[in-house]
Chain A
Amino acid sequence: MGITQVQSTTFLSDTINLIRDKIKNGIEDPIFDSRPSGQKLCYTSYPQNAVTYPIISIVDRGINQVSRLGMASEGALISLNVEIRIWARNVKERDGIFDSVYSFLRQDQLDATSGLADSNLHDFQLLSAVNIDEDGEGGPRSKVCEYQFLIIVD
């Protein structure tokens, strides 16, 4: 059983793992049949070993406390930026995976029992999506997408 709820004391790791699990289960791996064993579609850090593209990396890109939840409260509203980066073999594959990931997360926000909001990830926003294409034949095409979530911790 993976992470289903972002807890106050472990909100960072819970968020990254929850999004990884959601993408892993909700997005089709274009090379599912031919991916070498031991390799996977989603990573929660930039891989150090050789990988087979396409892959998706999910890392945090900054946290800040937006406000406290009241003068006599220890609760807080946390803004967490998450980078979901798509690394693909070509532009078409990169853009296709981006469309799938964005649509999947957008449509997953308000699901009653398992949606992002129900898991304590509120106010889903795509802040930016920047292309980084590496030179040379077969150079990976990547899209760096920054998403923002609000998390209530108490």
Chain B
Amino acid sequence: MVKVTGTKGNIVDVQILGVGEVLRLLQQKQKRIIIGEELGIVRAGTFIQEEVKESIIGNRAEKKSVDSGNFANSIEFKKIAKDEGRVSPSSRKYPNGQTTDKVALILENGTSKIRPRRHFGNTKTRNQQKIKEIIEDEIKRNI
């Protein structure tokens, strides 16, 4: 109950109803936004994981880097923190002892003998807007 001065100088009692309900509604919305954001990160991460694989197998602008399929198959998305995910190669061994994560570094940046094939960097640049859209969509769907 709040007391305010009326237009004729008298005191008017004003009762605000439903404060609890509004607070509960806002808290529910906040929870749904957080859930939407988390789902959005997973969806966007999975999308980027597939885009990097497409790039490696030659379906994007970069030159393909397929030999045994080990490299493309090693690409995986992991949610590493509350608002953070990572798409990277897991460490798989080739018969010659090299690992996919070392090969990824060399292919991404090139050496004095091979030109870079930026599967990761170019995928990120190409899809920055798409990542935002996926997360936004997921939040909107959850509200």
As a 0/1 sequence over residues 100 to 120 of chain B, the CB contacts with chain A under 8 angstroms (1 = contact) are 000001100111110100100
Contact of A130 among B105, B113, B124, B128 (CB under 8 A): B105
What A residues does B111 contact at CB under 8 A?
A: 132, 134, 140, 142
What are 5 inter-chain pairs, A to B, with CB distance below 8 A? Answer: A61-B118, A62-B125, A63-B125, A132-B105, A140-B112
Complex Cα gap A140–B118 (Å): 20
> Which residues does B use to contact A, with CB under 8 Å?
105-106, 109-113, 115, 118, 121-122, 124-125, 128
Whether B125 pairs with A144 at a CB distance below 8 angstroms is: no
Whether B128 pairs with A64 at a CB distance below 8 angstroms is: yes
Contact of B121 among A62, A63, A142 (CB under 8 A): A62
Complex Cα gap A140–B124 (Å): 28
Complex Cα gap A97–B14 (Å): 73
Closest to B126 in A: A62
Whether A130 contacts B112 in the complex (CB less than 8 A), given A62-B121, A62-B125, A64-B125, comes out as no
Whether B122 pairs with A62 at a CB distance below 8 angstroms is: yes
As a 0/1 sequence over residues 35 to 54 of chain A, the CB contacts with chain B under 8 angstroms (1 = contact) are 00000000000100000000
Nearest 3 CB-CB pairings of A with B: A62-B125, A144-B109, A140-B112
What A residues does B113 contact at CB under 8 A?
A: 134
Contact of A87 among B112, B118, B124 (CB under 8 A): B112
Closest to B128 in A: A64
New A-B pairs, 17, CB < 8 Å, besides A62-B125, A63-B125: A46-B110, A46-B115, A61-B118, A62-B121, A64-B128, A85-B109, A87-B112, A130-B109, A132-B106, A132-B110, A134-B112, A139-B112, A140-B111, A140-B112, A142-B111, A142-B112, A144-B109
Most-contacted residue by chain A among B110, B112, B122 (CB, 10 A): B112
Complex Cα gap A26–B128 (Å): 35
Whether B109 pairs with A132 at a CB distance below 8 angstroms is: yes
Closest to B112 in A: A140
Complex Cα gap A96–B101 (Å): 27
Complex Cα gap A25–B105 (Å): 31
Closest to B124 in A: A62
